[in-house]
Amino acid sequence: MNTDSKGARPPLVDIGVNFHSAQLASMTSPLLARAKAAGVAQILATGTSLASSRLALDLAKANPGVVFATAGVHPHGAKSHDTATFRELIELWKCPEVVAVGECGLDYNRNFSTPQAQRTAFEQQLSMAVETRKPLFLHCRDAFTDFHDMLAPVVADGARGVVHCFTGNRAEAEAFLEMGLDIGITGWVTDLQRGQALRAAVPALPLDRLHLETDAPYLFPKNSGARRGHNEPANLPWVAAGVAELMNREVDEIIQACTANSRRMFNLPGT
């Protein structure tokens, strides 16, 4: 991407970074500096467990206005979710720096936790999204029917949210959009092999319902040319470029729309 134009580029918001991952741990300062230099003005630090949600909150408190946190239990960790954990999460959701409930959802692909344990943890978090009126940061893999059935009533109760790292096809995207959920796009969109269904779906997606995310350290954007190490938030412009190419629009138009969507969804301050 032409970095000469970055000064004029509208600010980006990365709605998913796993700072707690082994690959990114203890690299927060350089990651944030490089993100800022790349035009990524605000970042949501993903919480996938009680411990990582607390880390995300600490990071948000240390970087006010720049980093915000999600707090929740990923379906993989649902087996260790209990009443005590839930009580602690409720305290986290009260914090203003915690802008979303999640990462939560269902993942029947690998079933690191049983589907029943996943549904119990998801159900509790869905009810808290309604109660706190905070948006959901959602994960769904190979569980569309149950996911859809569990979300429908809470969306009817006013819950909002983003299906993060959406990798599905056009029909699934349309089903989520019809429910009122937004779609999070990662570097998956730049993967010419695995990303085929998503790439076919993107041109038809409404620009006012999309969000950009790296999901770092995962999903290094393949359109960036050289792959060096793990993914990081500074690579978000490549995701925007991938979407822009598929939609046949200017990158700045994509960024502007997605930033506005993310700020509105997660109630982030504008600059």
Task: Report whether 128 contacts 135 (CB < 8 A).
Answer: no
Closest chain position to Zn ion (CB):
139
44 vs 165, which CB is nearer to Zn ion? 165
> Please, what is the minimum distance in Å from the beta carbon of residue 214 to Zn ion?
12
CB-nearer residue toward Zn ion: 20 or 139: 139
How far apart are CB 70 and Zn ion at their closest, in Å?
Answer: 11
Sign of torsion, CA 76 78 84 90? positive
Q: What are phi and psi of 114, to 5 degrees?
A: -65, 150
Alpha carbon of 240 to those of 48, 114, 163, 224, 243: distances in Å?
25, 35, 17, 11, 5
Residue 9 makes contact with Zn ion by CB under 5 A: no
In the complex, minimum distance from the CB of residue 106 to Zn ion, in angstroms, rounded to a whole number: 11
User: Could you give the string, one character per residue 147-166, with x where binding to Zn ion holds by CB under 5 A and - elsewhere?
Assistant: ------------------x-
The partner residues of 17 in beta bridges, in order of sequence, read: 45, 216
Taking the complex as a whole, how short is the minimal distance between the CB of residue 249 and Zn ion, in angstroms?
27
Q: Which amino acid is at 146?
A: D
**Closest Cα partner for 161 from 195, 187, 189, 125?**
125
Q: Does 209 bind Zn ion (CB under 5 A)?
A: no
- SS3 state at 16: strand
Q: Is 139 in the site for Zn ion (CB under 5 A)?
A: yes
Give the C-alpha separation, 43 to 14, whole Å. 5
Q: Could you tell me how many residues of this chain bind Zn ion (CB under 5 A)?
A: 2
Stretch that binds Zn ion, among 50-58, 89-97, 134-142, 183-191 (CB under 5 A): 134-142
User: Under the criterion CB under 5 A, does residue 20 sit at the interface with Zn ion?
Assistant: no
Q: Is 211 in the site for Zn ion (CB under 5 A)?
A: no
**Which residues bind to Zn ion, rule: CB under 5 A?**
139, 165
